[in-house]
Amino acid sequence: MSETVAVIGGSMTKFGQREAWIRELLADAGEACLDDAGVPSDAVEHLYVSNMASGEFEGQTGVMNALAHDLGLLPAYSQRVDQTSASGGAGIYAAWQSVASGASEMTLLVGGEKMTHRSTAESTDIIASITHPAEYKHGVTLPSFAGLTARLYLDRFDAPRESLARVAVKNHENGTRNRKAQFQKEITVEEALESPIIADPLRLYDFCPVTDGSAALLFCPLEVAEEYADDYAVVSGVGGATDTHVVHEREDPTTMGGVVDSSEEAYEMAGIGPDDVDVAELHDMFTILEFLQMEALGFAEKGHAWEHAMDGRTKLDGDRPINPSGGLKSKGHPLGASGVAQAYEIYEQLVGEAGDRQVPAETGLACNVGGFGNCVTTAIFEANR
Amino acid sequence: MSETVAVIGGSMTKFGQREAWIRELLADAGEACLDDAGVPSDAVEHLYVSNMASGEFEGQTGVMNALAHDLGLLPAYSQRVDQTSASGGAGIYAAWQSVASGASEMTLLVGGEKMTHRSTAESTDIIASITHPAEYKHGVTLPSFAGLTARLYLDRFDAPRESLARVAVKNHENGTRNRKAQFQKEITVEEALESPIIADPLRLYDFCPVTDGSAALLFCPLEVAEEYADDYAVVSGVGGATDTHVVHEREDPTTMGGVVDSSEEAYEMAGIGPDDVDVAELHDMFTILEFLQMEALGFAEKGHAWEHAMDGRTKLDGDRPINPSGGLKSKGHPLGASGVAQAYEIYEQLVGEAGDRQVPAETGLACNVGGFGNCVTTAIFEANR
């Protein structure tokens, strides 16, 4: 039997356009996380850094070694975890494994990315390197896939275009309650529907922004958690899966196979089903992905997630709030940070520290997606308070 | 108690200047490894890819998702492990954790790098991004550190310059017995001592080459190993550590702190000491590093490793052969592959399949170093035959 793993602290920096470089962003989140948990730096045995592309964005690699040094964790083991835009979720899996295997009794996970100093064209080039070169060369970038898939979804399931706008409106509304979010701005359905077309039928407000930022979580065995904290969360389930690298080889582009597979693993480990999940952070890099993930996770019937958005069931006061943090849409999407920040929001909700965004929750789920569903991790957390 | 982890298969591609790109190199080693173990691709649950910089070298990221696809492993979980030039060793630690934690019952690790299509200046730039920017900007690259440290070592311990040449001569000699090694060429002490100066007192033959290649290992719990193989190896100890990111902050540059710390962890877990190790693969990116690691691992007294080289104790027929594969010096150093290839050599030695390089061994050790000792993993394997 492996160790039961707890999360006893968390943090995130302000997301947005930041002057700091990657080493500072990572150090800020890491330090704040140790402070939050009241754990001294010399207690940390393993450090994982979720980061996709500091080499490409800044010409700086070895950021995990630098961070171990900067935080005074030496001689702690340090390693970088990359799973493209799902690097944060993969970091959660890595941190869980490090504690569950007994290799570490105190594991710090810090995810971050510094992106906004590069032009949109440069960032797009770096991000597009995730995909198959044949797709990229022919101009099928991630936004293009999102447009194609949104068109198919709306047509096949007779969903109104407005339902996608409602995802953006909700996530922007939630973001105004999160001072760390990139955007602090409500938008209307009309504004979303009239914003400039990016990849038809998707418009500007269907896309997450380019963002700098970092987030951190601290993991340890359950019995160690009890020494440091009264309120904490337990990682009750975690799973990961890969889908085809070439998107056109998928049988049904509206089904996110990696989400199905990774969540089945996580549900089984946690011994629960989708109905037991009170709150979730999903990877809404594009609004359409919130629907596809809700369906793949079993939160809605196939082809019906859009109805939840229209009915307001995913809002803060709905049956099951989705993306209370503001999601990638409003909070921002610093690649390697996003999966960690999702789990940080769930942690805050479970320990009752989510402030104006607080929802009643005992069980929360975070789903982090890389590429266009090429790789996915799903993690389930339970409150222990 | 965590699971005992076995290695039931391994492979490496020919190292050298290769026409294949990174995806092909990784797929070649991965496929050969599954074949070697007789394990079907659909049995693989986790895939780890050790790779430092496919994005920087080739503009291709997401190589772990691509490889899972190419090898038919879907929906297996896939993740990239980066620890700069120690990415392979970090991959061993990650693979071990995945099995030891119970997350995976069959984990494939593939390490690889494609480098030779870039100019030496470009490669040097990419590799130098490991170091602190202040060092790099002032021209203190990894070869410079090696030169400075070699000078200090030779002076302080009254070691003859010839002792470094003997490391190169031995590793080239071993490489002639390894058809996968980049170099198949014996050299003499005189040739090594008269080769062009690179970073005084180090000369051309004190440095490993730039290399393309990949290597793979297959990990599973002990009881699963018994289903597939009669002869296999057990990971009896593993440890990892980080040293200062800024090299000049180290108290004594001739002591590799990361090697000391990671090997102490590995020895403790294995319940053995240095004298119990029959054969080792060390990270001889520069000849001087073979001495520093031998001393940090406890194979030689501080300041005395050079005597082992002069006496021939580290040769194939010596007391404890070091780098029977030819080492990074002769086998080549495709960054992400090297740590995996080191452990593959130990595996081959322990299962008695090392051919002309076979030495008598029950216990073997692999030590993989990133940066100039910035991060290190040490793994100990025991024969089970």
Q: Which chain B residues touch A242 with a CB distance below 8 Å? A: 47, 64-65, 68-69, 73-78
Q: Is residue B48 situated within a structural domain?
A: yes
What lies within 8 Å, CB to CB, of A312 at 6+ separation is A170, A318
The domain of B12 spans 5-118+211-228
Contact B354, B324 (CB under 8 A): yes
Q: Which chain A residues touch B78 with a CB distance below 8 Å? A: 83, 240, 242, 375
Q: Is residue B383 situated within a structural domain?
A: no
Write down the mean pLDDT value for chain B: 96
Q: Is residue B224 situated within a structural domain?
A: yes
Does A266 score more than 70 pLDDT?
yes
Is B61 in contact with A53 (Cβ distance < 8 A)?
A: yes
Q: Is residue B80 situated within a structural domain?
A: yes
DSSP letters of A121-151? Answer: HHHHHHHHTTS-HHHHHTT--HHHHHHHHHH
- The token duo for A149 is 């898939």
Q: HSE, CB side, 13 Å, CA atoms: give it for residue A211.
A: 31
Find residue A77's DSSP bridge partners.
A46
Contact B135, B247 (CB under 8 A): yes
Give the mean model confidence (pLDDT) for residues A214-230.
96
The region that residue A97 occupies, defined by phi over 0 for left and psi between -120 and 50 for alpha, beta otherwise, is alpha
CB atoms within 10 A of CB B318: 15
Does A124 score more than 90 pLDDT?
no
Q: Is residue B160 situated within a structural domain?
A: no
For chain B, positions 14-43, list CB contacts with chain A under 8 A: none
- The token duo for B320 is 């404890």
B135 pLDDT tier (thresholds 50, 70, 90): confident
Alpha carbon distance B329, A95 (integer Å): 34
What lies within 8 Å, CB to CB, of B76 at 6+ separation is A241, A242, B44, B45, B46, B47, B68
Give the mean model confidence (pLDDT) for residues B25-40.
98
DSSP label at A62? -
Alpha carbon distance B31, B10 (integer Å): 10
DSSP, collapsed to helix, strand or coil, labels residue A167 as helix
Nearest by CB to B242, from A52, A75, A370: name it: A75
Is A242 in contact with B77 (Cβ distance < 8 A)?
A: yes
> Tens digits of per-residue pLDDT, A294-344?
999 999 999 999 999 999 999 999 999 999 999 999 999 999 999 999 999
Give the mean model confidence (pLDDT) for residues A140-161.
96
What lies within 8 Å, CB to CB, of B174 at 6+ separation is B316, B323, B324, B325, B326, B327, B330, B357
Which of A54, A67, A82, A244 to mutate against chain B (most B CBs within 10 Å)?
A82
Is A100 in contact with B98 (Cβ distance < 8 A)?
A: no
Closest C-alpha to B239, from B376, B110, B346: B376
A318 to chain B, minimum CA–CA distance in Å? 33
Q: Is residue B18 situated within a structural domain?
A: yes
Please confirm whether the linkage preceding B201 is cis (ω < 30° from 0): yes
Alpha carbon distance A330, B311 (integer Å): 67
- The token duo for B344 is 């593959």
> Percentage of residues in chain A with pLDDT exceeding 70?
100
Number of domains within chain B: 1
B140 to chain A, minimum CA–CA distance in Å? 15
Does B174 score more than 90 pLDDT?
yes
Q: Which chain A residues touch B55 with a CB distance below 8 Å? A: 53, 55-56, 126, 129
Give the mean model confidence (pLDDT) for residues B35-50.
98
Write down the mean pLDDT value for chain A: 96
> Tens digits of per-residue pLDDT, A59-92?
999 999 999 999 999 999 999 999 999 999 999 9
> Percentage of residues in chain B with pLDDT exceeding 90?
92
Q: What is the pLDDT of residue A1?
A: 57
DSSP, collapsed to helix, strand or coil, labels residue A283 as coil
The full 3-state SS of chain B, as one line of letters, equals CCCCEEEEEEEECCCECCCCCHHHHHHHHHHHHHHHHCCCHHHCCEEEEECCCHHHHHCCCCHHHHHHHHCCCCCCEEEEEEECECHHHHHHHHHHHHHHCCCCCCEEEEEEECCCCCCHHHHHHHHHCCCCHHHHHCCCCHHHHHHHHHHHHHHHCCCCHHHHHHHHHHHHHHHCCCCCCCCCCCCCHHHHHHCCEEECCEEHHHECCCCEEEEEEEEEEHHHHHHHCCCEEEEEEEEEEECCCCHHHCCCCCCCHHHHHHHHHHHHHHCCCHHHCCEEECCCCEHHHHHHHHHHCCCCCCCCHHHHHHHCCCCCCCCCCECCCCHHHHHCCCHHHHHHHHHHHHHHHHCCCCHHHCCCCCEEEEEEEECCCCEEEEEEEEEEC
Q: Is residue B175 situated within a structural domain?
A: no
Closest C-alpha to A360, from A320, A309, A323, A313: A320
Beta strands in chain A (DSSP E): 5-12, 46-50, 77-82, 107-113, 197-199, 202-203, 213-221, 232-242, 279-281, 363-370, 375-384
Alpha carbon distance A369, A328 (integer Å): 11
Q: Is residue B203 situated within a structural domain?
A: no
A129 to chain B, minimum CA–CA distance in Å? 5
Q: Which chain B residues touch A52 with a CB distance below 8 Å? A: 61
Alpha carbon distance B299, B274 (integer Å): 6
Q: HSE, CB side, 13 Å, CA atoms: give it for residue B230.
A: 1
Does A116 score more than 90 pLDDT?
yes
Alpha carbon distance B5, A2 (integer Å): 14
Interface check A152 vs B, CB under 8 A: no
Q: Give Cα A7 to chain centroid, integer Å.
A: 16
B348 pLDDT tier (thresholds 50, 70, 90): very high
Residue B239 backbone dihedrals phi, psi, to 5 degrees? -155, 155
Does A52 score more than 60 pLDDT?
yes
Does B99 score more than 90 pLDDT?
yes
Residue type present at position B175: G
- Residue B86: burial class (beta carbons within 10 Å; 0-12, 13-18, 19+): buried
Interface check B184 vs A, CB under 8 A: no
Please confirm whether the linkage preceding B75 is cis (ω < 30° from 0): yes
Contact A22, A213 (CB under 8 A): no
CATH code: domain of residue B31: 3.40.47.10
Does B196 score more than 60 pLDDT?
yes
Does B274 score more than 60 pLDDT?
yes
> Tens digits of per-residue pLDDT, B221-265?
999 999 998 999 999 999 999 999 988 899 999 999 999 999 999
B1 pLDDT tier (thresholds 50, 70, 90): low
A134 pLDDT tier (thresholds 50, 70, 90): confident
Q: What is the pLDDT of residue B325?
A: 98
For chain B, positions 277-296, list CB contacts with chain A under 8 A: none
Does A385 score more than 80 pLDDT?
no
Contact A64, A23 (CB under 8 A): no
A328 to chain B, minimum CA–CA distance in Å? 20
Number of cross-chain residue pairs from A and B with Cβ atoms under 8 Å apart: 211
Q: Which chain B residues touch A370 with a CB distance below 8 Å? A: 62, 65
